[in-house]
Every structure is written in C-alpha cells, then in structure tokens.
Amino acid sequence: MIDPSLRLRRAIHANDPLLVSRICKSHPPYLLQNPDFSPLGLSNTSLHLACSLGHLAVVRTLLALGHERDGVSLNEEHQTPLMIASAAGHTEIVHLLCKEFPDNIARRDSRGRDAIMEASRGGHDTCLQILLTFAPGGPAALLNNADIDGNTALHFASSYGHLLVLRTLLAAGADSEKRNAWSWTPVSYSATVQAEVYFKGLVAEVEKRRTMRKEAEIKGTGAGVRLVSGEEA
C-alpha cells in the first residue's frame, strides 16, 4: 500500500484533480496540505507543488477543499504559492491567486523577496502586470521594495536582461536610481551593452513623459477647447 502523502503528490504531478479530491476526502484533513519533509522538499505544500507545475485545475481543487482556509501556506523559505507561480511564469494561476488572496502580493520570503521580484527575475511580463494590477493600494510601494541585499524588482529585471519587464516596471513608476547594498543602481547590472542602451533609452523616455505631464498640469489642461454658441459664430 503506497503512503497516502506520496499518492497525493503523484496525483498532483499527474495533473489529476479528481484523484486529488478523492484522496483528500478519504483521509484526515491534515493530509490536504501535505508538507514535503524530504531533504529537498522545503516543506512545500500541495498548493506549492501544484503552482510550481502550473496545474491550474489542481490548484482550483485544492482551494475548493480548503487548502488556504486557515491562512497562507509558507514553505521553509517563507515562500507563498503565489511566489512559486510567479517565479515559474504560470499566468493563469497567478491571476487566480491574485484575485483570491491579493494581500499575498506584498508578502516577503526569508530573503526579502516578493512575488513581483520573482516575476521580474524570471522575465514573466504578463505575470508582473497581473501582480501590479491587483496590488492593494496600487503598485508604488511594492516597486520600492528591496530584498535583504537591497535589490528591487528593477535590479532583477536588469541583471537578467528582461527588456519587456524593464519597460513595464519603469512605466509603473519603478525608481531607476535606487541603489542596493553595494550602492549599485539597476542599470549597473545590465546583462549586455545592448540591454544597457535600451534601459537608458527607456529611462529617458519615462522622464520625458513625466516632464510633459508636469508642464501640462502647470498650464492647466494643456489644450482646452472652448465651445462657441450659435450667437457668437
């Protein structure tokens, strides 16, 4: 007889939501989360595993069974399932978790990283846009977050050469001059010369738009239209 915890993990790997549901319902409730205590398992729960594999139907099943009913799941590195899905670029799962648990977007792991940093590090632009859209209170505070080394999401995007992510972060208001613990700005970590040139071009473009907006605000609407009545015409 195979151990139920192993059977559950195999069912998740097989992307079989019906079997996952059947195993969980026929065993005590504590089996649902089923932390992986193997040497390399990091105590990842069933939801962590499903998110890492990108199995949306299994994720939905686990949530319906009450996987996160008593609070967010954290592994040994304090990573949430949302962080795992963001790092892997599983767009639909990120969207689902953001809708269900928007407060998890701002959570940090043991290294000080959040889901936005993980998506930026992996170059997953669509996931990043979803995270920024659902961020409670807007993305401004999250874009300013830094890990224990002082690296922001923009540092990660630059160091891995993810050009689309750079554009998204800068357009959302990320600080291109923010320095990490070694006093390096994001552009200092550009993966290639071409990436550095592109980065500097984006920064210049963003600054130009900000200047134009400020000038328009000072002038009022910037280009008002006066309606003329028939008598004045």
Residues 6 or more apart whose Cβ sits within 8 Å of residue 199: 158, 166, 176, 186, 187, 190
What confidence score (pLDDT) does residue 107 get? 97
Confidence of residue 218 (pLDDT cuts 50, 70, 90): confident
The answer to whether 53 and 12 have CB atoms below 8 angstroms apart is: yes
Q: In whole angstroms, what is the distance from residue 158 CA to residue 192 CA?
A: 9
- pLDDT tens per residue, range 187-206: 999 988 888 999 999 999 88
The residues spanned by each domain of the chain are 1-68
What confidence score (pLDDT) does residue 219 get? 79
**CATH number, span 1-68:** 1.25.40.20
Confidence of residue 229 (pLDDT cuts 50, 70, 90): very low
- pLDDT tens per residue, range 154-166: 999 999 999 999 9
Instruction: Map residue 59 onto helix, strand or coil.
Output: helix
Confidence of residue 231 (pLDDT cuts 50, 70, 90): very low
Query: Which has more pLDDT, 114 or 230?
Result: 114
Q: In whole angstroms, what is the distance from residue 175 CA to residue 153 CA?
A: 10
Q: In whole angstroms, what is the distance from residue 93 CA to residue 130 CA?
A: 11
Query: Which has more pLDDT, 167 or 216?
Result: 167
Q: What is the pTM of this model?
A: 0.89
- pLDDT tens per residue, range 15-42: 999 999 999 999 999 999 999 999 999 9
- pLDDT tens per residue, range 35-69: 999 999 999 999 999 999 999 999 999 999 999 99
What confidence score (pLDDT) does residue 141 get? 87
Q: How far is CA 113 from CA 10, 16, 109, 190, in A?
A: 29, 31, 5, 20
What confidence score (pLDDT) does residue 41 get? 96
